[in-house]
Amino acid sequence: MAEDCLFCAIVAGEVAVTKVREDDDTVAFTDVNPQAPVHILVVPKRHIADIAALGADPQASAALLHAIRGLVDAERLADFRTVFNTGAGAGQSVFHVHAHVLAGRPMAWPPG
Ligand code: 5GP
Ligand code: ZN
C-alpha cells in the first residue's frame, strides 16, 4: 500500500465507496463525481501508478481487463467508454491506475 494514495485507502477499506465488483486482484466502485449515469472506476488492489506502469506487468494488465469484462456481465453494459487518464496534463488526479467505465448516455467522438 502506497502512503497518501486515496485508492490504496479505498482498497484497504479505510475510505467508504459503493463497491460494484471485487475479485482477488481488482476492485470496482462508483465514481463520487459521475460523468455519466454509469461511471465506475476499476483499480488493481496493488498500487500501480498509471497505465504505462500497468502495461509493464502482463498479469496485472490482464486482471484489469478481466475485471472490466466482469462489469460488462454484472452491469449488463452494451455501449460503454473506457478511459485511462495518464499524467496531470491528461486529467489524471489520482496516481493509482484506474479505468473509468462510462455508460448510460450517448458519447460523442472525438471526446473533445
Ligand atoms: P482521474 O482524474 O485521476 O482520471 O480520476 C479520478 C477519479 O476519482 C475522478 O473521476 C474522481 O471523481 C474520483 N474520485 C476522487 N475521489 C474519490 C472518492 O473519494 N471516492 C470515489 N468513489 N471516487 C473518487
Ligand atoms: Zn495506490
CATH number at residue 21: 3.30.428.10
Let me know if residue 45 belongs to a domain.
yes
Does the structure show a pLDDT above 80 at 112? no
Instruction: Report DSSP state, residue 70.
Output: H
In the predicted structure, residue 87 carries a pLDDT above the cut 80:
yes
Question: What is the Cα–Cα distance from 28 to 100, expressed in whole angstroms?
Answer: 10
Give the pLDDT of residue 12.
97
Residue 14: is its pLDDT beyond 80?
A: yes
Residue closest by Cα to atom 8 of ligand 1: 31
Q: Which residue has the cell 497505465?
A: 51
User: Each residue of 21-43: pLDDT tens digit?
Assistant: 999 999 999 999 999 999 999 99
DSSP 10-62: HHTTSS---EEEE-SSEEEEE-SS-SSSEEEEEEESS---SHHHHHT-HHHHH
Residue 14 lies in a domain: yes
Nearest-CA residue for ligand 1 atom 17 is 32
Q: Domain total for the chain?
A: 1
Q: Which residues surround ligand 2, an ion (CB under 5 A)?
A: 2, 5, 7-8, 47, 96
**pTM score:** 0.97
What is the model's pLDDT at position 94?
98
Question: C-alpha grid cell for residue 66?
Answer: 478481466
- Quick one: pLDDT at residue 66? 98
Note whether residue 25 is domain-resident. Answer: yes
Domain around 36:
6-103
Which band of pLDDT confidence, cut at 50, 70 and 90, is reported for residue 79? Answer: very high
Residue 110 located in a structural domain: no
